[in-house]
């Protein structure tokens, strides 16, 4: 296979139809193009060409929890879902709270080759919420960390949160907060409401999220810092973020695909595949989240891809782990909930799943428009393919997907990362093929 690709007849996010030439790791040309010598032709008739997707919230589990996922398997899942860059959360073992660990994560990503792995640094040492981690050292490391998060835990201490928000201004960083008041959610198992009372499961009240977001936007305003809110899940949180933005506070927010589609009623069968933190909420919340994503109150979709081994989900509800895999299904869920419903177009999808997450995370070389001169990070989607979502669609190590057995629209046909296809004809390519392609590409640019 050659190292240049001529993508014929793709539909751009704008709706225009165009050919796209990828050459030397960049988009060389977009328009009505003549055959290019030596280029592999990809028929993209009917396919939507999106800038390579960027996930601001991925759990890759390595180092430490390789039975759930590794950087290699997690980025393979990313490629399968059309992602070319993932931000790796810090709750590994050891925790990514030093320059050493984030550089290791970066190296593992470079070796894997399926996608850019941008490490997120922990806000506090060991995610314990007691003492700031070496934020500056992580920022200055080879991993160039700009996003800091204790995700899984809330930076609950208001003084520590204030200091973290202030401190990262020195290097244009952002604190990505897991908004969960810990005292209000002790032992919490599902959304608190009528259903939790009937099922006898301890409630996770919406106010536990909303009160932390309210506090944090006020702190961000006070110290003039940038705040990012992870996995917003309630209608009340949307109102708080909307208020903060109207006030000019520098806050961004994300929503997960599962909070755009699934509701708490699924918990009624005590199937732990539906156990996630923050929990699935009510239909009113789902509707508010969709509206907020469409009107820009919520800036991005992030997967919160959280792989777990089978035994962590094949058990009673209380004992089960929180989390769902989401990389492979994210684009399909966004298509179903936002595009097919008429709330957004493909240009909006490119914004919320690529351009804006790259901008929030200060990641260069990603989220650029499908235009000549941009980095060759590209996803081709067949929006007309509708199929049962089965385990064959999962490319990571874990299978804890809430969508198995559901019908979802859309299928990623090809993903190009740095000009090299990581997915082609709907199949994830073997890692040695990708490594060989990168080697030839590097050789070519050395000669050129």
Instruction: Tell me whether residue 138 is exposed, middle or buried, using C-beta atoms within 10 angstroms of its C-beta: 0 to 12, 13 to 18, 19 or more.
Output: buried
61 among annotated binding-site residues: yes
**Catalytic residue status for 250:** no
Strand positions, DSSP E, 127-224: 147-148, 174-177, 190-191, 203-204
Calculate the CA 28 to chain-centre distance.
27
Helix (H) or strand (E) holding 138: helix 135-140
For residue 6 the two structure tokens come to: 């001529």
Q: Which is nearer to another protein, 93 or 243 (CB)?
A: 93
The answer to the question of residue 387 lying near another protein (CB under 8 A) is no
Q: Which is nearer to another protein, 100 or 193 (CB)?
A: 193
The answer to the question of residue 205 lying near another protein (CB under 8 A) is yes
The answer to the question of residue 4 lying near another protein (CB under 8 A) is no
Beta bridge partners of 140: none
Q: Which is nearer to another protein, 171 or 317 (CB)?
A: 317
Please pick, from the candidates 315, 387, 430, 439, the single residue that binds another protein as defined by CB under 8 A. 315
The SS3 call for residue 172 is coil
| Least distance CB 264 / another protein (angstroms) | 12
Q: Which is nearer to another protein, 124 or 189 (CB)?
A: 189
| Least distance CB 270 / another protein (angstroms) | 3
The answer to the question of residue 224 lying near another protein (CB under 8 A) is no
- Which residues, other chains included, contact 79 with Cβ-Cβ below 8 Å and sequence gap of 6+? 114, 115, 395, 415, 417, 422, 423, 428
The answer to the question of residue 257 lying near another protein (CB under 8 A) is no
Q: What is the spatial distance between Cα 176 and Cα 109, in angstroms, rounded to a whole number? A: 21
Q: List the x/- string, 321-340, binding to another protein by CB under 8 A.
A: --------------------
Please pick, from the candidates 15, 197, 224, 390, the single residue that binds another protein as defined by CB under 8 A. 197
Given the residues 35, 45, 304, 425, select the one marked as catalytic. 304
Please pick, from the candidates 317, 382, 385, 404, the single residue that binds another protein as defined by CB under 8 A. 317
Q: Which of 243, 280, 255, 389 is nearest to 334 (CA)?
A: 255
The SS3 call for residue 379 is strand
Q: Which stretch binds another protein (CB under 8 A): 6-14, 189-197, 251-259, 390-398?
A: 189-197
What is residue 341's DSSP assignment?
A: T
Instruction: Tell me whether residue 126 is exposed, middle or buried, using C-beta atoms within 10 angstroms of its C-beta: 0 to 12, 13 to 18, 19 or more.
Output: middle
The SS3 call for residue 121 is strand
Q: What is the spatial distance between Cα 405 and Cα 394, in angstroms, rounded to a whole number? A: 13
Q: Which stretch binds another protein (CB under 8 A): 99-107, 311-319, 376-384, 415-423?
A: 311-319
The answer to the question of residue 187 lying near another protein (CB under 8 A) is no
Q: What is the spatial distance between Cα 29 and Cα 20, in angstroms, rounded to a whole number? A: 6
The answer to the question of residue 405 lying near another protein (CB under 8 A) is no
The answer to the question of residue 200 lying near another protein (CB under 8 A) is yes
Please pick, from the candidates 16, 284, 318, 388, the single residue that binds another protein as defined by CB under 8 A. 318
Per the CB < 8 A criterion, the answer to whether 206 and 192 are in contact is yes
Phi, psi of 203 (to 5 degrees): -85, 145
Q: Which stretch binds another protein (CB under 8 A): 52-60, 133-141, 193-201, 301-309?
A: 193-201
Calculate the CA 77 to chain-centre distance.
12
Please pick, from the candidates 9, 46, 171, 270, the single residue that binds another protein as defined by CB under 8 A. 270
Binding site, annotated residues for Zn(2+): 57, 59, 151, 178, 231, 304
Residue numbers annotated as active site: 304
Annotated binding site for substrate: 59-61, 91, 277, 308
**Binding footprint of another protein on the chain (CB under 8 A):** 189, 192-194, 196-203, 205, 269-270, 311, 314-319
């Amino acid at each position: 296979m050659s190292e240049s690709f001529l993508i014929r007849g793709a539909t751009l996010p704008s709706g225009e139809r165009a050919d796209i030439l990828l050459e030397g790791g960049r988009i060389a040309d977009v328009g009505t193009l003549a055959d290019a010598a030596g280029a592999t032709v990809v028929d993209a008739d009917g396919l939507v060409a999106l800038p390579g997707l960027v996930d601001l919230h991925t759990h890759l589990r390595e180092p430490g929890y390789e039975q759930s996922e590794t950087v290699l398997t997690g980025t393979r899942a990313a490629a399968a879902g059309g992602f070319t860059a993932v931000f790796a959360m810090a709750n590994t073992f050891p925790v990514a709270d030093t320059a050493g660990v984030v550089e290791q994560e970066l190296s593992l990503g470079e070796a894997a080759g399926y996608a850019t792995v941008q490490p997120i640094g922990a806000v506090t040492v060991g995610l314990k919420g007691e003492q700031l981690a070496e934020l500056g050292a992580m920022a200055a490391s080879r991993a160039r960390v700009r996003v800091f998060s204790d995700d899984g835990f809330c930076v609950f201490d208001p003084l520590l949160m204030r200091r973290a928000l202030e401190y990262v201004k020195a290097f244009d960083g952002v604190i990505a907060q897991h908004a969960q008041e810990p005292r209000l959610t002790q032992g919490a198992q599902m959304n608190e409401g009528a259903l939790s009372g009937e099922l006898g499961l301890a409630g996770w009240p919406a106010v536990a999220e909303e009160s932390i977001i309210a506090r944090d936007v006020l702190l961000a305003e006070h110290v003039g810092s940038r705040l990012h809110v992870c996995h917003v899940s309630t209608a009340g949180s949307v109102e708080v973020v909307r208020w903060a933005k109207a006030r000019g506070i520098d806050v961004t927010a994300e929503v997960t695909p599962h909070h755009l589609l699934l509701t708490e009623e699924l918990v009624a069968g005590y199937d732990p595949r539906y156990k996630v933190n923050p929990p699935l909420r009510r239909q009113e919340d789902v509707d508010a989240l969709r509206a907020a994503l469409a009107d820009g109150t919520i800036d991005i979709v992030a997967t919160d891809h959280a792989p777990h081994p089978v035994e962590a989900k094949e058990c009673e509800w209380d004992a089960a782990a929180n989390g769902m895999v989401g990389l492979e299904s994210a684009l399909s869920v966004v298509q179903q909930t936002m595009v097919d419903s008429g709330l957004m177009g493909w240009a909006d999808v490119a914004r919320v799943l690529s351009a804006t997450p790259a901008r929030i995370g200060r990641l260069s070389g990603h989220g650029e428009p499908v235009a000549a001169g941009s980095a060759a990070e590209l996803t081709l989607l067949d929006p007309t393919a509708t199929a049962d979502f089965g385990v064959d669609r999962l490319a990571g190590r874990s299978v804890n997907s809430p969508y198995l057995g559901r019908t979802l629209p859309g299928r990623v046909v090809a993903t190009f990362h740095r000009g090299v296809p990581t997915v082609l004809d709907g199949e994830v390519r073997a890692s040695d093929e990708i490594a060989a392609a990168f080697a030839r590409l590097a050789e070519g640019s050395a000669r050129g």
